[in-house]
Amino acid sequence: MHKFERFFKLHALLHSGHPVSMKRMREALDASRATVNRDLEYMRLFLHAPIIYERAANGYRYDPDAPTFELPGLWFNESELFALLASEQMLESLQPGLLAPYTEPLRQRIRELIAQSGHSAETVSQRICLHSFGRRQTQSATFATVAQAVLECRMLSIHYHSRSRDQTSSRCLQPRLLLHYRDNWYLIAHCEKAQALRTFSLDRIREAVLHEAPAAPGDESELQDFLGSSFGIFSGPVQHWAVLRFSAARAAWVADEVWHPDQVGAWRDDAYELRLPYADPTELIMEILKHGPEVQVLEPAELREMAIGRLEAAWRQYQK
């Protein structure tokens, strides 16, 4: 555990108002007595924390007669700060509606947590920005109906417009999961028409009707396999493994990226080779093509031919 994480945990313990024993602090920090003593001394000397020892209770606490003490500086780690800022900015972007009485108190609480970093919520929001790209608009009523169906495990009927086929179809669904992926919302549900799990983009739902009938309980392992076994939002059982070869220049970035938890990357001479599983090539081919001449599809042959076909079609556009 990093030193600053230990300070944060100690601060939370000492802030409770009750004396905290050395044993409890050691268990919370998973640290030795010497480490805890050093941390307490550091907080006293350099952070000016009003830590006192109460002999009668055999514990430590903040001096109740001293001014309220907060840790200085930004003490959130990367994931905690992102979660708070993302939540705050998402709530701020919601249109006023039925959810406003519930979301506004939550938003204020998030701003209070951000302020515990030692900086005002306004300063943090102004100086640290989360920029959305490619976000599509979802109707508030649709989102509310779908979210209710997911949380209450109730059957859902929708009229869904497919971009690829430019057709609208009626579907009866057993909702399983509401997923936020790359700035857009998706519903993972068992489709009675397909008799399988499917992914539905909320912005393509033209109408959503919630039923009283409960949805059948789903298999959690099936859901996890559907979500995590293959690359991207178009998930499902693994069908192929892609083998991609990146130039040394592009590998300076790609080698540090995680495309899939099961990926395997290795340097081959002056290039970087990435292997990852996928089921549907739709999203993967878009990710590949954005790297232009800095990447080459080695395997499988079907994916390689698809990339060649897309590049040739793009070249014909410019020949016109």
Sequence ranges of the domains in the chain:
3-62, 82-127, 140-214, 240-319
Please give the CATH number for the structural domain made up of 3-62.
Answer: 1.10.10.10
Asked if pLDDT for residue 190 goes beyond 80, the answer is: yes
Question: For domain 240-319, which CATH number applies: 3.30.70, 3.30.2310, 3.40.1710, 1.10.760?
Answer: 3.30.70
**Domain 140-214 belongs in CATH node 2.30.30:** yes
Lowest mean pLDDT among 28-37, 66-75, 223-232, 285-294: 66-75
Mean pLDDT check: name the lowest of 102-106, 165-169, 191-195, 201-205.
102-106
**Whether the predicted pLDDT of 51 surpasses 90:** yes
Yes or no: say if 185 and 159 are a contact pair by the CB < 8 Å rule.
no
pLDDT of residue 224: 81
Is it true that the peptide bond before 300 is cis, omega within 30 degrees of 0? yes
| Residue 258 pLDDT exceeds 80 | yes
Question: How far apart are alpha carbons 80 and 113 in whole angstroms?
Answer: 11
21 token code pair: 């024993």
Distance CA 162, CA 282 (A): 14
Question: Per-residue confidence at 236, pLDDT binned at 50, 70, 90?
Answer: low
Cβ contact 175:189 at 8 Å: yes
